[in-house]
Amino acid sequence: MTSAANANKPALHLVGCDGNAFAILSKAHRAAKGANWSCEKIDEVMHEATCGDYNHLIQTMIKYFEVSVGVTRKIGATRYKENTRL
């Protein structure tokens, strides 16, 4: 894809998401549809994501989406959740 195509990077929040590949792909598919990506672009990204191992899947998600994950920090008796961008 061109760099212009990469400018439309929808948010992909993986906070509380099951870490298995199918859950991540499903969430990414919904985010892409919500960003009005064409079916062809969605299929291309999903194909690229599934052409390797789990690490390749994650790298592909970072390439095409603004990925954020949740981080829980405990300070004293209080827990704080933060979003961290990858």
35 touches 8 (CB < 8 A): yes
Q: Mean pLDDT for each consecutive 10-residue tract of the chain (86 residues)?
A: 62 83 95 96 98 96 90 58 56
Domain ranges of the chain: 3-85
pTM metric for this prediction: 0.72
Question: Which phi and psi angles does 21 have, rounded to 5°?
Answer: -60, -40
Distance CA 31, CA 11 (A): 7
Question: CA 58, 25, 69, 13 torsion: positive or negative?
Answer: positive
Element (H, E) at 6: helix 3-6
Distances (CA, A) of 84 to 14, 48, 71, 72: 10, 24, 7, 10
